[in-house]
Amino acid sequence: MDVNLFDFDLPRTLIAERPVSPRDAARLLHVQAGGLTDGVVGDLPRWLRPGDLLISNDTRVIPARLFGRKGEGGIELTLHERTSLDEWKAFARPAKKLRPGDEVRFADDFSATVAAKGEAGEVLMRFDRGGDDLMLALDAYGRLPLPPYIRKGEADERDRADYQTVFAREKGAVAAPTAGLHFTDALLTALESAGVTRTTITLHVGAGTFLPVKVDDTKDHRMHAERGVVTAEVADLVNRTKAAGGRVVAVGTTSLRLLESAADDDGVLHPFDGPTDIFITPGYRFRLVDVLMTNFHLPKSTLFMLVSAFAGLDRMHQAYAYAMNRGYRFYSYGDACLLERENPC
């Protein structure tokens, strides 16, 4: 499909620089066949149904932005995919200064070696430690990789709390699953009281989520892989929910992508532990997810393509135009929408 079909003009003033407080006071636009309804995230318990299953992403953002030196030159790395305990794929700036075998030093006692070079500024870095020791070093020397459209990607102390969801547990993401940022303990209690069941899955969101689509046709775009985990217990709960007539409600495009990756053609969810590079565009046949809660996304992005596949391209253009006219806040710290699938099972 022509990438320009997913373009729209967004005023810079609608890009949120900070989240609202409390988090569940963010606005929520309900998008369904019957039209558009304005609300707030706190309305979610009355917009979902008893028996629905809410599935969120429990990944935790790590300080994956590193500044080091190769000789006298400065190097910036943004880690985006772990390939082993001590190796990560990363986007480097300036990548042209790096060759396989080069050492990048971040501190006197912390360094990494270029194991391989890829395309478009990507490198494979082998660190001088792995596992929990590497996570400790990142905590000490890394910075939070805030999206580039928020304060030019420069995170501050407040972002350390703001850019983690209430579900965050499994370390490994370099970008937050932002739909989850709207949830509070009070909202989770209200959902439980409304008969909505909850569970979590894990997709470690990579920095590739920020990369623009640079091709003219969606068939030519390559998605970066992200590692996900769906346990056997979660798969069983999802399958029992569907069998009983309940709906699967995905919190965020990351949850949806993992669920669709782990489901078979008959809509049965299976345990999953591995990488997924699923790229969802209009024409995709959804196997499992019935309802999607998600933020408002960038024009011509893979995320806007996904929501257009889920709820319909024309409907999403109408919904985004409506949201812009009413001052909804966009992107990671912005407001959200609740999407009913265009073609439900």
Question: Kind and range of the H or E element at 229?
Answer: strand 226-230
pLDDT at 27: 98
Residue 182 lies in a domain: yes
Q: Are residues 201 and 290 in the same domain?
A: yes
Confidence bin at 322 (pLDDT 50/70/90): very high
Cβ neighbours of residue 293 closer than 8 Å, sequence gap 6 or more: 28, 44, 179, 182, 249, 250, 251, 252, 336, 337, 338, 339
The answer to whether residue 158 sits within a structural domain is no
Examine the fold and report which residue of 110, 143, 176 is the final residue of a domain before the chain moves on: 143
> Both 103 and 177 in a single domain?
no
Which amino acid, 48? L
Domain assignment of residue 149, yes or no: no
Q: How far apart are CA 230 and CA 224, in angstroms?
A: 19
Average pLDDT, the chain: 94
Q: How far apart are CA 70 and CA 83, in angstroms?
A: 23
Residue 210 has pLDDT above 80, yes or no: no
One domain for residues 312 and 263: yes
Same domain, 132 and 280: no
E strand or H helix at 31, and its extent?
Answer: strand 27-32
Residue with tokens 């699967």: 248
Q: Which residues of 119-145 are buried (b: 16+ CB within 10 A; e: fewer)?
A: eebbbbbbbbbeeeebbebbeeebbbb
Asked if residue 75 belongs to a domain, the reply is yes
Q: What is the mean pLDDT of residues 155-168?
A: 93
Q: Is residue 270 part of a domain?
A: yes
Regarding beta strands 170-173 and 197-203, do their DSSP bridges make them parallel or antiparallel, or are they unpaired? unpaired
Q: What is the rounded average pLDDT of the residues 38-56? A: 97
Provide the pLDDT for residue 344: 62
pLDDT band at 34 (very low <50, low <70, confident <90, very high): confident
Amino acid at position 254, single letter: T
H or E element that contains 105: strand 103-107
- Return the minimum-mean-pLDDT range out of 86-95, 101-110, 172-181, 210-219: 210-219
Q: Residue 174 and residue 138: Cα distance in Å, rounded?
A: 12
Place of tokens 């606005």: 27
**Domain CATH for 136:** 2.40.10.240
Q: Are 119 and 227 within one domain?
A: no
Domain finish residue from 93, 110, 143: 143
Tokens of 276: 């997924």
Pick 208 or 177 by higher pLDDT: 177
For the entire predicted model, the pTM comes to: 0.92
Instruction: Give the model's pLDDT for residue 271.
Output: 98
Band of pLDDT at residue 162, cut at 50, 70 and 90:
very high
Across 119-123, 203-207, 253-257, the highest mean pLDDT is recorded for: 253-257
Q: What is the domain-level CATH number for residue 181?
A: 3.40.1780.10
Q: How far is CA 135 from CA 94, 144, 194, 236, in A?
A: 24, 13, 38, 32
322 and 261 fall within a common domain: yes
pLDDT above 90: residue 30: yes
The pLDDT of 239-243, averaged and rounded, is: 98
CA distance 92 to 99: 11
- Overall average pLDDT of the 100-121 stretch: 94
Q: Kindly state whether residues 298 and 315 are assigned to the same domain.
A: yes
**SS3 breakdown of the chain: % helix, strand, coil, rounded to 5?**
30, 30, 40
Across 276-299, average pLDDT: 96
Domain hosting 100: range is 65-143
Domain count within the chain: 2
Band (208; pLDDT cuts 50, 70, 90): low
Same domain, yes or no: 169 and 271? yes
How far apart CA 256 and CA 287 sit, in angstroms, is 10
Say if residue 229 is in the same domain as residue 112: no
Token representation of residue 307: 């929501």
Portion of the chain with pLDDT greater than 90, in percent? 86
Can you tell me the distance from the alpha carbon of 57 to that of 69, in angstroms, rounded to the nearest whole number? 34
Q: Has residue 211 got a pLDDT over 80?
A: no
Q: What is the mean pLDDT of residues 263-275?
A: 97
Asked if 219 and 301 sit in the same domain, the reply is yes
Is 93 a residue whose pLDDT tops 60? yes
**175-187 pLDDT, tens digit each:** 999 999 999 999 9
**Does residue 135 form part of some domain?**
yes
Rounded-to-integer distance, Cα 212 and Cα 218, Å: 12
Rounded average pLDDT over 111-140: 94
Q: How many residues does the chain have?
A: 345
Mean pLDDT across the stretch 215-240?
A: 94
In terms of domains, do 190 and 118 share one?
no
Q: What is the DSSP letter of 227?
A: E
What is the mean predicted confidence (pLDDT) over 170-198? Answer: 96
Q: Is residue 172 domain-resident?
A: yes
Q: Which residues contact 142 (CB under 8 A, 6 or more apart)?
A: 62, 63, 64, 65, 66
With respect to residue 43, please indicate whether it lies within any of the assigned structural domains. Answer: yes
Query: How does DSSP classify residue 331?
Result: S
Contacts of 338 (CB under 8 A, 6+ apart): 28, 29, 30, 31, 44, 47, 291, 292, 293
Report how far residue 104's alpha carbon sits from residue 335's, in angstroms, rounded to the nearest whole number.
Answer: 39
What pLDDT is stored for residue 214 in this prediction? 87
In this prediction, what percent of the chain has a pLDDT beyond 70? 98
Residue 82 and residue 224 share a domain: no
**What's the confidence (pLDDT) of residue 345?**
52
